[in-house]
Amino acid sequence: MVAAQPSTTALREARDRASRARFATLIQRQGALIALVVTMVFGWLRYGQEGFTGTYNITEALRYNAMFALIALGMTFVIMTGGIDLSVGAVAVLGSVMAARASGEGPWVATLVAIATGVAIGLLNGVLISRFRIQPFIVTLATLLGGRGLALLAANNSVQSLSTEAFSNGFIDISGREIGPVPLPVAIAAVAFVIGTVLLNLTRFGRHVLAIGGNEEAARLAGVPIDRTIIVVYVLSGGLAGLAGAILAAYTFSGNPNEAVGWELSAIAAVVVGGTLLTGGLGSVWTTLVGVLLLGAIINMLNFESLDPYWQQVIRGLFLLVVVILQSRLRRPASG
């Protein structure tokens, strides 16, 4: 009986470790969804069914956050490779200015111009990072500054108004139109996330992205096309940011070089809150969407409280810091 006691204790400890690991995995993967449900219930109880969870409030919140969702989708792929893209806010605002300038040509031309602008900057980022081995932080910080400068130049250091024809040729419908009860920007973001899920889970490209983030040198030895994959990832991020810029121009009826300040940080926050590791190699497209919705719900709630925008920034920063700390601690049981 005495000899059996250590074995029983060891088994109990093993079960406890396994239980903690399962709990950590659950929180890491579904924590954002649980927090979103709690936030929505709290908002419903505090502000009433016709306020926080009313049809109008939810529709308009989703319409606005669809732009963040597109940017966060591209950022998800970037972060899964172990990189970062600080230029997406600047790309979005430059895309909005270019879309506003081309708005008289119709919604398709203006949107394609914005996307092409984003693709060009994303291609520049990808080539500099992959071929010249420059750190993503440095490259995208440089294109952030350059993109903002180009937006000011393109708008003549002012706000670029839409062409008169934009109000009759359908350009403003990119943001204002609805497909049934669903705002068009939300439908666009939903399609983008479906495509993103397919790319990540059902293609070699998705496996290559995760392999690079997990261990780039091992991926290189395994024959993964490192440079090409990284270039495609940054092109994808830039193109989605450009698309968000076209929606922004239609939403605000202008291309304002001073818009989209801090969008890159909001996108990073949504990706991290959704459970994607900043070190790369692990992530999910749909948990990023949950992260976007959670951050959007929190900001919406702070607006209901009429909280000063500066304090909103402080709370967002603290929230992101807490999530990163929790993510780091939750990984320890799983890895141990």
pTM of the model: 0.90
The whole-number pLDDT of residue 262 equals 86
Distance between CA 80 and CA 68 in Å, rounded? 18
The whole-number pLDDT of residue 330 equals 61
* 272: in domain: yes
* 324: in domain: yes
CATH label of the domain that carries residue 193? 1.10.3470
The whole-number pLDDT of residue 244 equals 98
CB neighbours of 220 closer than 8 A, spacing ≥ 6?
226
CB neighbours of 242 closer than 8 A, spacing ≥ 6?
91, 92, 94, 95, 114, 115, 116, 117, 118, 119
* 51: in domain: no
Task: Record the tokens describing residue 260, joined without a space.
Answer: 């989209």
Task: Record the tokens describing residue 107, joined without a space.
Answer: 């919604």
Q: What range defines the domain where residue 132 resides?
A: 32-42+56-330
* 118: in domain: yes
Task: Record the tokens describing residue 132, joined without a space.
Answer: 């010249």
* 19: in domain: no
* 26: in domain: no
Question: Could you tell me the mean pLDDT of each successive run of 10 residues in the chain, 336 residues long?
Answer: 57 66 60 86 85 89 96 97 97 98 96 98 98 96 97 95 94 94 96 97 96 94 96 98 98 94 90 88 92 92 83 79 72 50
Q: Are strands 178-179 and 254-255 parallel, antiparallel or unpaired?
A: unpaired
Distance between CA 99 and CA 105 in Å, rounded? 10
The whole-number pLDDT of residue 35 equals 85
* 169: in domain: yes
The whole-number pLDDT of residue 17 equals 67
* 3: in domain: no
The answer to whether 272 and 327 have CB atoms below 8 angstroms apart is yes
Q: Which among 288, 322, 312, 298 is positioned nearest to 32, based on CA atoms?
A: 288
Distance between CA 294 and CA 286 in Å, rounded? 12
The whole-number pLDDT of residue 317 equals 80
* Total domains present in the chain: 1
The whole-number pLDDT of residue 22 equals 62
Distance between CA 238 and CA 236 in Å, rounded? 5
The whole-number pLDDT of residue 1 equals 45
* H/E run at residue 161: strand 160-161
